[in-house]
Amino acid sequence: MDLISTIFGLVAVALGLVGLFPLLGWLTWLSLFLSFFGMIFGLSDRSRTTGITINFLVMVLALIRLLVGGGIV
């Protein structure tokens, strides 16, 4: 399950980076949801924490981006 979580996290990172461009902020929301689901998959396998770490960092950065950009009021 850690592999699935890591894949979700890497896709969320890619979408989050593209979401930094103007008018593509909706990708930040998508990366937030992908990292949330990746975190759920990562929590089912407690022995490895790579996927959990990646998804947690993406969630924090996406939330900061949304707060600064006015996506969350």
Q: How confident is the model at residue 48, as a pLDDT? A: 80
Per-residue three-class SS string for 12-36: HHHHHHHCCCCCCCHHHHHHHHHHH
Tokens found for residue 16: 């989050």
- Provide the residue ranges of all domains of the chain, joining segments of one domain with +: 2-69
The model carries a pTM of: 0.85
Q: How confident is the model at residue 72, as a pLDDT? A: 73
Q: What is the pLDDT along the chain (73 residues), one digit of tens a residue?
A: 888 999 999 999 999 999 888 888 889 999 999 999 999 988 887 788 888 999 999 999 999 988 888 877 6
5: exposed, middle or buried (Cβ count in 10 Å: 0-12, 13-18, 19+): buried
